[in-house]
Every structure is written in C-alpha cells, then in structure tokens.
Amino acid sequence: GQSLEQPSEVTAVEGAIVQINCTYQTSGFYGLSWYQQHDGGAPTFLSYNALDGLEETGRFSSFLSRSDSYGYLLLQELQMKDSASYFCAVRRNQGGKLIFGQGTELSVKP
Amino acid sequence: GAGVSQSPSNKVTEKGKDVELRCDPISGHTALYWYRQSLGQGLEFLIYFQGNSAPDKSGLPSDRFSAERTGGSVSTLTIQRTQQEDSAVYLCASSLRLAAKNIQYFGAGTRLSVL
C-alpha cells in the first residue's frame, strides 16, 4: 500500500521557525511536493523535491532524503497568515498523479 | 481563464440522486485531476486525464463514479445514486504536461452534501 505520515497538528509563535516532517512508504518514488491550504480554500503549491537536499523559496524550504524516505518543510519567520494546513504529496512516476498525506494543521500564535 | 474554475461551489442533493460536477482547467493545461477531500482529511486521488491518453481511473471508489473530459478541456465528474458517504469537497486541478515540478493548480472545489 501507499502511506504518508505527517504530524496532525503543530503550534508555533510568530517569528519562530517550524519544521513539518513527512515520511512515506510508496511503490515508486519520483518526487515530493508540499501544498498549503487555508480553511475553506484551494490547496496551493509550495515546493517540490526530486533529488536529495534542500530547496529554498523565500521563507519556505523543503528537504528530501530519498534513502530515508523522508522529507520536511521548514517555515521561517512565521507570520499569522501562515496558519493553515500543510500537505506532503508523493509523485510516484513521471505522470502527474499525487498521493497526499493527511495534512498538518499549523497554528501560529502571537 | 485565470485559474481553475469549478461549478457549482455547493451542491445539496438527496440520497439516490445523480450529480454532475464541472471543472474548467487553466487554458493550455493538458493534465487534469480530480480529488476528494473529506472534512479534516487529506486529498484522495480519484482520476487523472493527460492529453489524449486513456485516463488513470485507479482512484475511483466505485462504479457509481465516472468522469469525462471533452475536447481536452472541460471535465465533468458524475456520481450516480449518491450515498451519504459521498459527502465531501471535490477538488479539480490542472497542470502543464510533464512539467518538471508537476505544479498542480487547484480550483476552489465543489462542496457536496448528500442528505
């Protein structure tokens, strides 16, 4: 079967750094994506890793270790607007189908 | 259009009725996906269209679910004889063919409530 594990909830304060982990077990792996979803909103793309290492995009970074079947999303200088759900998703092959984790709800407190 | 458009935004139906959900992808995007999201849960893959290739239907939960894509653009997801467990938000996404990062652009979804 296919499974992705990520924490259900994370709480942090404004200005802090938070890391959201994702471990996966899938038959086939091509890349790991991260999406953000605000309450009642559409998921929006944040980051993608196909190779081991760190990808940085502004305040957000994403890391992948293929040998450990593990990745994380790092959010720096947290802002209240970062309160949302964050999903990791595995792309198993060159096709576009994604398998999503259950999501991590991030609450940013003042 | 500027983004992925889905209609209706909300649909309330009675158990046993058929429903049709519509998705207009971003112009020029050849890949189109349907996902289902139950309250507080992740996105569950349903079906994937890529250009003229046969669709990947591996996520459809039962034969009551079907989808088509006409002219390589608009897609309709049909649920026949709806059941209460079909209640969820149905999300559509589109992407460029074989884009390196496979960025999927999502619509706002259709919230389906089966009474």
**Digit-coded pLDDT (tens) for B49-82:** 998 889 999 999 999 999 999 887 999 999 999 9
Task: Please answer yes or no on whether B42 and A87 come within 8 Å at the CB atom.
Answer: yes
Each residue's pLDDT expressed in tens, for chain A with a length of 110 residues? 689 999 999 999 999 999 999 999 998 899 999 999 999 899 999 999 999 999 998 999 999 999 999 999 999 999 999 999 999 999 988 888 899 999 999 999 99
Contact B91, B109 (CB under 8 A): yes
Task: Please answer yes or no on whether B104 and A45 come within 8 Å at the CB atom.
Answer: yes
d(CA A7, CA B81): 36
State the best of B4, B90, B102, B110 to mutate against chain A, taking most chain A CBs within 10 Å: B102
